[in-house]
Structure 1
């Protein structure tokens, strides 16, 4: 029943206690909770699993029904697209200089030509991604072209990232492009929960240099290896 416990923990963490109870519907029996009890608690009673969460109350799930319905929830939100951005340093006026996405059946990677007002540059960051500003100007794609291509490729998808700052790079890119993204970027915790995310992070290789495609590939592999 440990897979059911894992499903419940992640689902409650991701969607909230009330949403999970609503999802499970007639498989749930709710009970009163002593006000002194706090936190998330689970126990197994034959074919049932009992969950206590903060002050919301006890619920008792039929394991077979809960497992089936939670599996559908997890499958619907399973990470399949893995994204990574590289940037010329961490600063309020920084921006994305490279993006890559690994997805079922393919990969996308491009350098991004700096917009006219993107003038931040860190040579410490350059020592990590090995890209010069001149290389970006000569080989990078304009922000509008990158944004349009990403919208075309990843429309209505949710891309999984190992760094919350990737959401910031996405916003900066699309602001420069002058259009809205038709996809989302979420940290891996949103897909698998904090505990599993920590285990996936532990599987990522430690290296000095960072390029977007290598990092996206590493995250995809680490996630796949974790769930083997």
Structure 2
């Protein structure tokens, strides 16, 4: 079975002024990849509560992050052929991906869709309990983009098979 490509974004905060700080994907072959992002000069919002959640400091982004153009180009290289990725937080993630591409002065060569579009009624009913079981059993480090993308992909696969 070919798995859907899942994209996840960690951000500087939860509301207005927030921006992407890490983008990760879980590929169709179940491998993952993620990159920290150096904030653009105009990206100044920082929410300490968000940092507590993901554990990534702004200083670390400045030190270890990749320039926005490099991350946007990587996404286009990764997703340009399949032209489609899915997100469980489409409203936020789509906004942050758009902000990344805008700052990079590039156009995305892929579309981001809501993961819910892939789920049937039975999957929706089992989603939360299955996801919690996966968190407990898969020893995934939460709130990091690559691992969260893989968690969503594993949850999708498990709900598809009907086993929790």
Q: Give TM-score, length-normalised by structure 1.
A: 0.61
Whole-Å separation in 2 of the counterparts to 1:201 and 1:213: 19
Report the secondary structure of 1:97's partner residue.
Answer: strand
**2:112 counterpart (166, 185, 191):** 185
Aligned twin of 1:217: 150
Query: Matched residue pairs, number?
Result: 152
Q: How does 1:55-66 map to 2 (within 5 A)?
A: none
Deviation at 1:209, TM superposition (A): 4.8
Aligned twin of 2:32: 107
Higher strand share: 1
RMSD: 2.1
| C-alpha contact 2:3 2:28 (8 A) present in aligned 1 | no
Deviation at 1:148, TM superposition (A): 0.5
Whole-Å separation in 1 of the counterparts to 2:37 and 2:79: 18
Deviation at 1:193, TM superposition (A): 4.5
Residue ranges of structure 1 left out of the alignment (5+ in a row): 1-74
After superposing the two structures, state which structure 1 stretch, 142-151 or 100-109, moved more.
100-109
Q: Give TM-score, length-normalised by structure 2.
A: 0.84
1:98 is aligned to 2:12: no
Whole-Å separation in 2 of the counterparts to 1:147 and 1:194: 34
Higher radius of gyration, 1 or 2: 1
Report the secondary structure of 2:44's partner residue.
Answer: coil
Residue ranges of structure 2 left out of the alignment (5+ in a row): none
Relative contact order higher in (CA < 8 Å, ≥ 6 apart):
2
Aligned twin of 1:51: none
1:161 is aligned to 2:94: no
The Cα offsets for residues 69-114 of structure 1, whole Å up to 9 and x where unpaired, read as xxxxxx9xx8610111000111221110001101123322110110
